[in-house]
Amino acid sequence: MSDKEVVKSEHNTGSAAGADRVGLVCMLKPLLYSQWQQQRWQVILAAVAMAVLLAGTVRAQLVSMREAATAILWFGGYIVAGFLAISPIGGERSNGTWQHLMALPTPRAAVILAKWLFGMISIVCIVLIATAAGWIAGQGLYLPTGWLLGQGLAAAFGLGGWYIVLLLPTLRSPNEYSAATMVLAVSVVGAVWYLHPVYILALTPDLRLGFGPLVAAAHPLAVSLLGLFSDNSSLYFMPPCIAVAAALWWIVPAAVMGWLCRRQCRDAWLAEAIS
């Protein structure tokens, strides 16, 4: 093969990859808009409720800011993420619209990718809106509002990653009841799993690379342990925790589902061309 043919082949490959990315974005836009139409009131009500609760609690100083952030941002966000994960697939199957989605000329992976992206973006935005409301309410009260912003970012990161763990078990759910059961079971397992990083961190403050710390760091919500212990031992836990969580629950799902979408698109185009 001549040099010109090699350059032309590489150019065509790059053009095809760029076209795949553009096509994927074009497919995701109407799917994301459809998800917004279906779940907008859940997202809006959850954002308003968490923002009002955190702002009111911080302003009234009924409890400390640490307790308010833990109860509303982390525990409240944990519950909201579970509710948001029930209806995207289980609700579609209960309403009979899942068959309509599968009949569209859109890869199944693109539908799941859109549902994951919408849910992940929703829980991140809900937590950040509540954090902003709490930060505004704490102005002028000599409260650690900077710490609250840090906790809000950590909660958005952790809960955004946790959403994919909740959504995956619902892929085969025939209805909302089944999806709710799966989400509840995963939430209980996730709560028990969360005790492992707490135990590891309390037992071995100077963490070394090993199986135990790695399993602990793999929990999406392990970033909530930042500043939990008075001796700042959790600071040594955060770098591997953030790296592992970002890889497992953000980068890998996006890469795998994006690859599946492009592959299914190419298979569909090839089958159409052959026919």
Q: Give the pLDDT band (50/70/90) at residue 8.
A: very low
Q: Write down the mean pLDDT value for the chain.
A: 81
Of 156, 164, 169, 162, whose CA–CA distance to 191 is shortest?
162
Query: What is the Cα–Cα distance from 275 to 271, expressed in whole angstroms?
Result: 6
The more confidently predicted of residues 149 and 106 is 149
- Would you state the structure tokens that stand for residue 120, as one six-digit string? 């992940």
Cβ atoms 170, 183 nearer than 8 A: yes
In this predicted structure, what is the pLDDT of residue 44?
Answer: 95
Cβ atoms 113, 72 nearer than 8 A: no
Region for residue 202 given its phi and psi (left: phi exceeds 0; alpha: psi -120 to 50; beta: otherwise):
alpha
- Identity at 78, one-letter amino acid code: Y
H or E element: which one contains 72? none
In this predicted structure, what is the pLDDT of residue 18?
Answer: 52
Q: Give the pLDDT band (50/70/90) at residue 7.
A: very low
* DSSP 8-state secondary structure symbol assigned to residue 204: -
User: What Å distances lie between residue 162 and 59, 238, 246, CA to CA?
Assistant: 29, 17, 11
pLDDT at 230 exceeding the cut of 80: no
pLDDT at 16 exceeding the cut of 50: no
Cβ atoms 191, 111 nearer than 8 A: no
User: SS3 for 183?
Assistant: helix
User: What Å distances lie between residue 28 and 41, 162, 220, 239, 267, CA to CA?
Assistant: 21, 22, 25, 33, 18
The more confidently predicted of residues 268 and 43 is 43
In this predicted structure, what is the pLDDT of residue 14?
Answer: 45
In this predicted structure, what is the pLDDT of residue 141?
Answer: 81
174-188, 231-245, 253-267: range with highest mean pLDDT: 174-188
Query: What is the Cα–Cα distance from 172 to 49, expressed in whole angstroms?
Result: 31
In this predicted structure, what is the pLDDT of residue 202?
Answer: 63
For 180-228, write each residue's pLDDT tens digit. 999 999 999 998 888 877 776 666 555 555 566 677 778 888 888 765 5
Give the domain ranges of the chain. Answer: 29-274
Within its chain, how far is the Cα of 63 from the centroid? 29
- Would you state the structure tokens that stand for residue 44, as one six-digit string? 């809006």
Burial 64-73 (b: 16+ CB within 10 A, else e): ebeebbbebb
21-25, 163-167, 233-237: range with highest mean pLDDT: 163-167
Which of the residue ranges 48-52, 102-106, 135-139, 169-173 would you say has the lowest mean pLDDT? 102-106
In this predicted structure, what is the pLDDT of residue 243?
Answer: 85
Of 50, 47, 119, 122, whose CA–CA distance to 90 is shortest?
119
* DSSP 8-state secondary structure symbol assigned to residue 273: H
Which of the residue ranges 38-42, 146-150, 200-204 would you say has the lowest mean pLDDT? 200-204
Q: Give the pLDDT band (50/70/90) at residue 267.
A: low
In this predicted structure, what is the pLDDT of residue 193?
Answer: 86
Counting residues of the chain whose pLDDT is more than 70, the rounded percentage is 78
Mean local confidence (pLDDT), 241-259: 88
For 71-90, write each residue's pLDDT tens digit. 899 999 999 999 999 989 88
- Identity at 266, one-letter amino acid code: R
pLDDT at 94 exceeding the cut of 90: no
In this predicted structure, what is the pLDDT of residue 15?
Answer: 46
Sign, CA dihedral 204-160-82-103, equals negative
In this predicted structure, what is the pLDDT of residue 164?
Answer: 94
